[in-house]
Structure 1
Amino acid sequence: MAVTLADRRTDDPPDSAAESARRSGGDRRQRLRRSRLLLLMMAPGVLYFLVFHYVALLGNVIVFQDYLPFAGITNSPWVGLDNFRALFADPDFWQAAVNTISLATLQLIFYFPVPVALALLLHSLTRGWVRKAVQSIVYLPHFISWVIVVALFQQLLGAAGVLNGLFADNGYHLVNVFSEPSLFKPLMIAELIWKDCGWGTIIVLAALHNVDDQLYEASAIDGAGWGRRLWHVTLPSLRPVLVLLLILRLGDILSVGFDQVLLQRDGFSPGVAEVLDTYTYYHGVVNGSWGPAALAGIFKGLVGLVLIVVANKVAHRLGEEGVYR
Structure 2
Amino acid sequence: MGEFELIRHYFAAAACARAGEGVALGIGDDCALLALAPGEQMAVSTDTLVAGVHFPEGADPLLLGQRALAVAASDLAAMGASPLGFTLALTLPSVSAQWLEGFASGLDAMAERCALRLVGGDTTRGPLSLTLTVFGSLPQGLALTRSGARPGDLLCVGGRLGNAAGALPLVLGQRRAAPDVAGPLLAHYWSPLPQFVLGQALRGRASAALDISDGLLADCGHIATASKVGLRVERERLPVSNALQSLLGLEGAWAAALSGGDDYVLAFTLPPEEEATLRAEGAVFFVIGQVNAGEGVTLVDRHGQDITPTIRGYQHFAETP
Q: So what's the TM-score if we normalise by structure 2?
A: 0.18
Q: Tell me which protein shows more strand as a share of its residues.
A: 2
